[in-house]
Structure 1
Amino acid sequence: MKISKLAIDIGHNVQFDGGAVGIRSENELNYEVGTKLIEKCRAAGLTVINCTPSRAISLYDSLNKRVEAANNNNADFFISIHHNLCTGGHGSEILCIPGGRAEEVAKIILPEIAKLGFTNRGVKSRNDLFVLKNTNMSAILIECAFCDSPIDMNNYNPESMAEAIFKGICNAFELNSSERNNPAEQPNYYTVVRGDTLCSIAKRYGTTVQKITSLNNISNADIIYIGQKILIK
């Protein structure tokens, strides 16, 4: 089951939608894993839609913007990156609406994460989660590990986690070695909306203000306008 356009949502990381706080901050972990995963998928030739909003005025607005980004860009599949919190819990699990493509993909990705040494807590049915039930495409939510678990957080490596998820994606969507070794450059444009700054855009896409200004010949990093298309690589 091949795809060409993947939606990746870096969980939380926006106003009114904060993540869990344990030994490590979920926001921080989600961002580290999510940005590395996006880079790997783009390098493999996939068009990646980063569904993480730059701002939100409510929890509903945050969740809805993530879904709209995937739906409006006609993504083939949706992945949301999260980390769990539950005193005494540890391990990795993937949440999805069961019985279809999402469950099939989850069962391919989760064993790759377990190979890192995390307890495989299984693929779990969640029909109630906003981003799973409102995306037009099949969707999964990955709970990579427990951010309050000493077992999970001891020597936790975001790069290794992102690579494990990426390997699962390659297996699930038949990305072969030639595609991975000879990545196609995919131009990626972001349209500025109210409240955006180059700093917030750079954080969202895992790049720097300096790189964005250089790519777009922007002389003053403090001046951008609504509707402006920003090239991001």
Structure 2
Amino acid sequence: MKFFVSAGHPMYKGAAGILDETVVDRAVVKELDLVLREMGHIVTVLNSESAKDYVEEVQVANSSSYDWYVDIHANCYHKESANGVETLVYADNKPQAHAISKNISDLGFYNRGVKTRTDLYILKNTKAKALLVECFFISNQNDCDLYNKIGPKKIAIAIAEGLTGEKYKSNVTVIEKPVNTPSQVKPTNDNWVRRLQQECNMQGFSNQKVDGYPGPNTLKGCPIMRQGARGNITKLLQEKLINLGYNLGQYGADGVFGAATYNAVVKFQKANGLTPDGIVGQNTWRKLLNL
């Protein structure tokens, strides 16, 4: 499916409570973008600074075809007792809205349910199916404490699963086995595929024949990787990028997926007609393996 996701309140004019709404909105949207992409969906993100008002946001969303417009917010009220999650819709005919509220409430927030709002511009004027998620109350101490404890990713997963009806299963490599000594020497890459196959087997991502010949099983066994990953698969990715002529900075193939690796991946993706999101998924691995 195709999703248009926005972090609420153009020009950073969100509410200020115990937490800052615009900060919360962006944190949840960043994770929601990654989670939906990892689930295989197409995502366009529009943060508040990219539009001056909701009219402009809707114009951007309506300029293309999307299945859903999802606007992320955090609630605020002068009475600190107000708490919980609620999902807003123009008409209560979207079971996904109820699923989102339930999923977020399962994390520990009070479920305020689904509210019909015919006065909100986005819900009224967007061509795609639209909903607005008020994740929790930034004016409620318990809500804020719970958010700080669980983090934005769990909320993003709750939203993504409610929207799609699918379970999120991440195979992103975050912590791998201890890395070897960083290499500054451009690798020969003669047995790179063989070493990649062996490492994917060792870490449980695949159970393939280690023969040095890339194919569907090799591709299937490569985990999704993004900034923050570290280990021997990251090191192999870096070796490949260096061998292809991409600059990874002074640390070279050190097994840490940092900013230099991210930038190199983005350049590689642009050069190969891929979405330049810095995430090494199946399409990027396919190009790296020359499949």
- TM-score (structure 2 length as normaliser): 0.57
Q: Report how far residue 180 of structure 1 moved.
A: 6.9
Other structure's SS at 2:276 match: strand
Q: Which residue of 1 aligns with 2:122?
A: 131
- Mapped to 2, the partners of 1:162 and 1:45 lie a distance apart of 15
Q: Which residue of 1 aligns with 2:41?
A: 46
* Matched-pair contact (CA < 8 Å) for 2:7–2:48: no
Q: Which residue of 1 aligns with 2:23?
A: 28
How has the CA–CA distance of structure 1 residues 214 and 160 changed in structure 2, closer, same or farther, with 3 Å as cutoff? closer
- Mapped to 1, the partners of 2:132 and 2:259 lie a distance apart of 27
- TM-score (structure 1 length as normaliser): 0.70
Other structure's SS at 2:74 match: strand
Larger radius of gyration: 2
Q: Which residue of 2 aligns with 1:70?
A: 61
Q: Which residue of 1 aligns with 2:104?
A: 113
Other structure's SS at 2:146 match: coil
Q: Report how far residue 9 of structure 1 moved.
A: 1.0
- Mapped to 1, the partners of 2:98 and 2:115 lie a distance apart of 10
- Mapped to 1, the partners of 2:263 and 2:53 lie a distance apart of 25
Cα-Cα RMSD: 2.9
Please say if 1:168 is aligned against 2:162.
yes
Unaligned runs of 5+ in 1: 186-206, 218-229
Pick 1 or 2: higher relative contact order, CA cutoff 8 A, min separation 6.
Answer: 1
Other structure's SS at 1:154 match: helix
Q: Report how far residue 212 of structure 1 moved.
A: 4.7
- Mapped to 2, the partners of 1:99 and 1:169 lie a distance apart of 15
Q: Which residue of 2 aligns with 1:231?
A: 276
More strand by share: 1
Q: Report how far residue 68 of structure 1 moved.
A: 2.1
Aligned-pair identity (%): 30
- Mapped to 1, the partners of 2:264 and 2:119 lie a distance apart of 41
Q: Which residue of 1 aligns with 2:267?
A: 216
- Mapped to 2, the partners of 1:34 and 1:208 lie a distance apart of 20
Q: Which residue of 1 aligns with 2:3?
A: 6
* Matched-pair contact (CA < 8 Å) for 1:5–1:48: yes
Residue identity matched to 1:51: L
- Match 1:158 to one of 145, 152, 161: 152
Other structure's SS at 2:47 match: coil
Q: Report how far residue 18 of structure 1 moved.
A: 0.9
Q: Which residue of 2 aligns with 1:198?
A: none
Q: Report how far residue 65 of structure 1 moved.
A: 2.7
- Mapped to 1, the partners of 2:116 and 2:260 lie a distance apart of 40
Other structure's SS at 2:58 match: helix
Q: Which residue of 2 aligns with 1:220?
A: none
